[in-house]
Structure formats: C-alpha cells, structure tokens
C-alpha cells in the first residue's frame, strides 16, 4: 500500500510540474484529490485493509494528500504571478497619451427655439397639443374652409397617401380636432412637422415645422389677438420690439393679417438683415372664420376666436441670424455646436 501511495504522489508531482496554466493545474487537483480521484479511491478501498493496519494506512494517505496540496498551492501562486506579469507586459498603459475626448451632445437650434416659444405661451396659460402627421384630407383642408377646387389647395401642394389621406401641410388640423371635442374655452398651441411638395433651397424644404395657436372663448376680439402677438414678439425678440399688422387673406380666418416685427438687428432703421425696410415678417394670423367654428361644432353666435401660425425654422433663422435653412438639417457638428 505504501508503495502505491508513493507512486501516486510521484505521479501527481510530475503532472503538477508539467502544468503551465491554472486550468491544467485544476485538472490535476481533480484527478488526484477529487471525488473520483486516485487518493479518494485508496480511501474507499480501506475496507479491504486489515483492521489493525487501517490507522497506519490512513496516516499515509493523509500525508500524501498534504504533500500534494502543498505542491498544488505553490504551483498555483507561481502560475498566478506569471499570468499577472504577462498581463502587465501586454496591457501597458501609456499615461502620457491624451485621454479619449467625451463628446457631449446638446439641443438642436430648432429645439431651443421651440422650447422658448412653448415657455412664452405656457406662461400665458396655453396648452401644448400634438396631432398626427398623416392626416385626413377632411381635417387638413375641408374643416379649414378649403374645399375641393379651392386655390389654397394648389398653394399647399402636398403628398397624398390616398385620395382621402395626406401628409399634413400645417398643424391646423390639430386645432380642428380639439374644437370638435367641445371642451371650451380653448387656449392651445400645436407644434409639429409638416410637409409640402417644395423644392429645397435656402428658405424652403419639403419637410419643416410649424407652431400654430388657437384661442376660442366668448367675447374674443382682434384686440386680444394683437395684444397676444405683441407680447409674444417682445418676449421672443426683446422688450423694444414693435409689431405691425398688414391685411391678408387666409381661408380659415376672417379678417386675416400678416405680422411684421421691427428689426431687432438695427432697431427699425434699416439694414441688410431686414433688407432696408426696418421690418421682418414672422407669422400669419386672423379671427377664426365662423364657418370653421360651425364645421367643428362650435356655435359662432356664442363663441369667437383667433388663430396664428409661425414657422419654427423661421424663428430659429431669425433668432440666430442664419442665412440658409439647409444648414439646420445637414448635421454638420461644426455648425450645430455653435448653439
């Protein structure tokens, strides 16, 4: 028995010395000390040893186990040290190299302008409402007093999904949907993406953004509209800003007007930015047409209202003095990081 244990011990020592990785060393441990290992098999065969020899044989087995465990532990420490040294050699960090630059994103000029407009109108008690970009012709045209054959349909040449479904040309359909709900009074703005079949140039795009506002209540007059837009212009462009209303025509408002603001660059004296006129056009507005109120289920004899619409890109272009609208969508970080 002693010779057998000596042979097992020598075999274990040889295999431990030949192990060049922690994985192989663990295999040796299992082969000799595991549940089905060679030393464990000797212990299981103790039943065949004479009772008077069992204590001595048990001692020999324990001594062999102890020596194998010492060899395993020493070799394990050696292999771990070699692995660490190799890792340190292969994964050298040059602390003189500059660190990786973290690029932190920020808001787009359109987003900055939109949040500023929303802040102004929310401060006046308005609600921000959104609606679908793919809209029924009924809401995009019919309920806004633009029936089939109306010239305004040609001006707003749009993309048709089918005969009755279009990509919306304005966010006014959101206003019609809100009026249909019958929850009066209404004070809302509707920002969102709109689509028109326009060629791309410095001031046009087939996809752009609008912010349209609507107020419907009893005793609303044009004076309320003028006061609201004057306050909006002063908040957006500065307290010295003046507004000018010019008569215009929109199918869904009557009377209608275009709104100019005094040039915030030259103070109204005339410069390149305002093309020498001292004024800059910013939006269209008017009193909601009684027929539009009627089609949306609002009694025009009891309620009146006003509406206005402004291009978000136009606000951004004016506010940040950008000459070309295409710059907003080219994703050139050299341009965008200025804001």
Q: Where are the domains of the chain?
A: 2-90, 109-336
Q: Which whole number is the average pLDDT over 75-102?
A: 80
Q: Tell me the mean pLDDT in the region 223-249.
A: 92
Q: What angle do CA 18, 23, 27 make, to 5 degrees?
A: 70
3-state helix, strand, coil in the chain (%, to 5): 45, 20, 35
Pairing of strands 186-195, 127-128: parallel
- Alpha-helical regions (H) of the chain: 2-18, 22-33, 38-44, 54-90, 109-123, 137-140, 151-155, 172-180, 222-237, 290-295, 312-319, 333-336
pLDDT at position 45 is: 63
114-142 pLDDT per residue, tens:
999 999 999 999 999 999 999 998 998 88
What is the rounded average pLDDT of the residues 188-206? 87
Is residue 121 within 8 A of residue 315, CB to CB? The reply is: no
Distance (Å, whole) CA 189 – CA 129: 6
> How confident is the prediction for the chain on average, in pLDDT?
84
pTM of the model: 0.65
Is residue 33 scored above 80 in pLDDT? no
How many C-beta atoms surround the C-beta of residue 223 within 10 A?
A: 9
Cα–Cα distance measured from residue 165 to residue 138, given in angstroms and rounded to the nearest whole number: 8
pLDDT for 189: 95
pLDDT of res. 150: 67
* Residues 183, 329: Cα–Cα separation, whole Å: 38
CA triple 57-74-35, angle to 5 deg: 45
Q: Per-residue pLDDT for 155 more than 60? A: no
- Indicate if the pLDDT at residue 57 is higher than 70: no
pLDDT at res. 258: 94
The predicted structure's pLDDT at residue 85: 84
Question: Do residues 281 and 260 touch, judged by C-beta distance below 8 A?
Answer: yes
Mean pLDDT across the stretch 240-258? 92
The mean pLDDT value for 88-106 works out to 77
If one counts every other C-beta atom within 10 angstroms of the C-beta of residue 191, the result is: 21
Predicted confidence at residue 1, as pLDDT, reads: 60
- For 266-310, the pLDDT digits (tens) are 777 888 777 888 898 899 999 999 999 999 999 999 999 999 999
154 within 8 A of 170, measured Cβ to Cβ: no
Q: How far is CA 316 from CA 29, 117, 118, 154, 323, in A?
A: 73, 11, 14, 27, 10
DSSP track, 203-242: S--SEEEEEEEEEEETT--HHHHHHHHHHHHHHHH-TT--
What pLDDT score does 267 carry? 73
Residue 333 burial by Cβ neighbours in a 10 Å radius (0-12, 13-18, 19+): exposed
- Written out in words, the top-level CATH class of the domain with range 109-336 is alpha beta
Query: What does the block give as tokens for 7?
Result: 């042979």
Q: Is the pLDDT of residue 25 over 80?
A: no
What's the pLDDT score for residue 122? Answer: 95
């Amino acid at each position: 028995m002693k010779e057998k244990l000596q042979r097992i011990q020598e075999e274990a020592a040889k295999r431990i010395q030949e192990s060049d990785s922690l994985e192989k060393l663990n295999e040796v441990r299992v082969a000799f000390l595991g549940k089905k290992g060679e030393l464990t098999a000797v212990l299981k065969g103790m039943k065949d040893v004479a009772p008077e020899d069992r204590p001595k044989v048990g001692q020999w087995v324990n001594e062999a186990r102890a020596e194998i465990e010492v060899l395993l532990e020493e070799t394990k420490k050696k292999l771990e040290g070699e692995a660490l040294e190799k890792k340190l050699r292969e994964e050298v960090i040059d602390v003189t190299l500059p660190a990786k630059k973290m690029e932190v994103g920020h808001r787009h000029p359109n987003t900055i302008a939109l949040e500023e407009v929303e802040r102004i109108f929310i401060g006046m008690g308005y609600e921000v409402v959104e609606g679908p970009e793919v809209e029924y012709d009924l809401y995009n045209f019919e309920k806004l007093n633009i029936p089939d054959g109306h010239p305004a349909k040609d001006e707003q040449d749009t993309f048709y999904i089918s005969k009755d479904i279009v990509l919306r040309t304005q966010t006014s359909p959101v206003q019609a949907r809100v009026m249909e709900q019958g929850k009066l009074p209404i004070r809302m703005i509707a920002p969102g993406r709109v689509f028109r079949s326009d060629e791309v140039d410095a001031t046009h795009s087939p996809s752009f953004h609008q912010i349209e506002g609507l107020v419907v209540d009893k005793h609303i007059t044009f004076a309320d509209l003028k006061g609201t837009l004057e306050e909006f212009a002063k908040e957006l462009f500065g307290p010295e800003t003046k507004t000018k209303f010019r008569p215009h025509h929109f199918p869904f408002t009557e009377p209608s007007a275009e709104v100019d603001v005094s040039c915030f660059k030259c103070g109204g004296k005339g410069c390149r930015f305002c093309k020498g006129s001292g004024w800059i056009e910013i939006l269209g507005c008017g009193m909601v047409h009684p027929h539009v109120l009627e089609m949306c289920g609002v009694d025009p004899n009891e309620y009146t209202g006003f509406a206005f619409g402004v291009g978000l890109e136009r606000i951004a272009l004016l506010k940040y003095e950008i000459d070309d609208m295409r710059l907003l969508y080219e994703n050139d970080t050299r341009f965008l990081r200025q804001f």
